[in-house]
Amino acid sequence: MLAGAATAQPAPTHYGLIGQMKAVPGKRAELAAILLAGTAKMPGCLGYLIAEDAKDLDALWITETWDSKASHDASLSLPAVRAAIAKGRPLIAGFGQSIETKPLGDAATAAR
């Protein structure tokens, strides 16, 4: 180890999800608005991105980054999240692919 070099700290174990949600035809924008409004200020949430699928007019992609899986799981019992799920459920036609990830970092944070 070099003299004066900082001791390496283990990277935190973050948790991520990327999943596709299919809206009832013609209801994608309404569903996205509900998801965005109901997911603000979730403890432990580092990022929650809703994106429209460029080819499927009824599909949304949701990319989530959390400080831990426990924070993600706990978010599902938050009143605002439960209300968003209840309000959005009639607009959901189904779900596509879903992938769990282990986020390592992001370019915006690394550039600071």
DSSP 54: S
Tens digit of each residue's pLDDT (9 = 90 or more) over 52-61: 999 999 999 9
pLDDT at 12: 64
Calculate the alpha carbon distances from 73 to 1, 60, 68, 103 in Å: 39, 21, 9, 17
Low-confidence residues of the chain: pLDDT under 70: 1-12, 107-112
Joined tokens for residue 88: 């959005």
Complete domains list, the chain, with CATH: 15-102 (3.30.70.100)
